[in-house]
Amino acid sequence: MKDDKLTGADARTDTKTLKTGEGMSLGRQNDTTGRAPRILFYSHDTFGLGHLRRSRALAAAITQADPTASSLILTGSPVAGRFTFPRRVDHVRLPGVTKRADGSYASQTIGMGIDEVTELRSGLIQTAVQQFDPDILIVDKEPTGFRGELLPTLENLLLSQRTKLVLGLRDVLDEPEVLAAEWERKEATAATERFYHEIWVYGLRSIYDPTKGLPLNHAAQSRIHWTGYLRRDLGPIGTPPEQPYILITPGGGGDGKAMVNLVLSAYEKDPDLSPRAVLVYGPFLSGDLRDEFETRVAALNGRVTAVGFESQIETLFHGAAGVVCMGGYNTFCEVLSFDKRAVIVPRTSPRMEQWIRASRAEDLGLIRMLDEFRDGLTTDSMVRAIRDLPHQPLPSQAIEQGLLDGLDYVTGRIEVLLNQEQERATG
């Protein structure tokens, strides 16, 4: 390992951190309403699975730590219904939107313009908040929501002073100068400073600071908590496929064409390449492209097998001898949680987020990156990467305690915020 020390020290405040566990209660019945805690998540989800999966992991940890608590996730993900949710966790599906090639947005299914869809989503969010009446609202990544749809709700909650507002940020957002311009355009900096009681960064500052370059005032900066990465649930685990195999996963799959093509080309070019590969396309890989890939998979005679979507991908991670993947936040957390040797092929468009995360992780000895700028995205480079995979060190050989404490830290913060609200209500 290099000189960087991955400890939890820089992620801790003087608040108590609780370990989640069966029967351990972090919340208390609200003395003023006589009800158990309610936690609401907002996940705009215009593309991919990352926001929903992160919110789902957090909701599961919170309700496991306090079996009386309830969590509700507002999500725009078109595949939300294909996931199983833990007991006392549910979701409300917002009308979906999709991003066009030119960067504009359109409704996924209903015949409404984007302004009408945004207004509809905003109204549904306000209704859900009024009816669910959450003690805490946790907003994922977008301080003002999709196209500002969250602003009316934030205004109402700020006036009522009954709900604690938390902005949750992944470890890397984008290049600092690009992010600063985006947040200025969306008026996200002003919203963060005005509305949010706390800002949670789901990573460690010693690895990367996603707020670098943002002109947040001192008060907002003092409300930042570095939680550590969000550990994936390691159980219950199902029966994995026949071993040995390496897992190939492009996450949601919508931008995974290049990586999947490289892997298939590697197995096509090198008939002795082993072990076999299990490929999970993801739900957003286009139908025509998947048909093309299916033809190539079939021609490999079992050396590569493929499935479309696996909601319990943890089982495939658990049994894999190694992983070839893109560099999304959730997949990175799974690589660390399951302690798997990994080759990450990060995308570099439309954001440099995955490349920044993979580059930093490679520097720290956690993974190997196949870098289009350094290695070239060629068939030969992928063959070498797969052949070298068994010889990589395990991530656990390069990390120290604290890196994966994010869920434990969050449940501790939930207790603190709930206690603050009770103290305020009781005067």
Report whether 347 contacts 355 (CB < 8 A): yes
| Span 371-410, pLDDT tens digits | 999 999 999 999 999 999 999 999 999 987 789 999 999 9
Residue 397 burial (CB count, 10 A):
11
| Span 60-112, pLDDT tens digits | 999 999 999 999 999 988 777 777 788 999 999 999 888 776 667 888 778 89
Cα dihedral 118/92/332/238 (nearest 10): -150
Q: How confident is the model at residue 238 (pLDDT cuts 50, 70, 90)?
A: confident
In DSSP terms, 170 is beta-bridged to: 202
| Span 147-187, pLDDT tens digits | 999 999 999 999 999 999 999 999 999 999 999 999 999 99
Nearby residues of 249 by Cβ (< 8 Å), 6 or more positions away: 279, 280, 282, 313, 316, 323, 324, 325, 326, 331
What residue ranges define each of the domains in the chain, with the CATH number in brackets? 9-231+404-426 (3.40.50.2000), 245-397 (3.40.50.2000)
Pairing of strands 105-107, 97-99: antiparallel
- H or E element at residue 379: helix 379-388
The first and second tokens of residue 238, run together, are: 């199902």
Q: Among 27-36, 187-196, 212-221, 299-308, whose mean pLDDT is lowest?
A: 27-36
DSSP annotation of 183 reads H
Query: What is the DSSP annotation of 232-288?
Result: PP--S--PPPSSSEEEEE-TTSTT-HHHHHHHHHHHHH-TT--SEEEEE--TTS-HH
Q: What is the pLDDT of residue 310?
A: 63
Residue 21 or 323, more confident: 323
Which one, of 67, 88, 15, lies nearest residue 412 by Cα? 15
Nearby residues of 399 by Cβ (< 8 Å), 6 or more positions away: 6, 336, 364, 366
Q: What angle, 0 to 180 degrees and rounded to 10, lies between the N-to-C axes of helices 188-195 and 151-160?
A: 20
pTM above 0.85, yes or no: yes
Q: Average pLDDT for residues 28-55, to the nearest whole number?
A: 77
| Span 29-38, pLDDT tens digits | 555 556 899 9
Query: What percent of the chain is modeled with pLDDT above 70?
Result: 87
DSSP three-state, residue 380: helix
| Span 262-283, pLDDT tens digits | 999 999 999 999 999 999 987 7
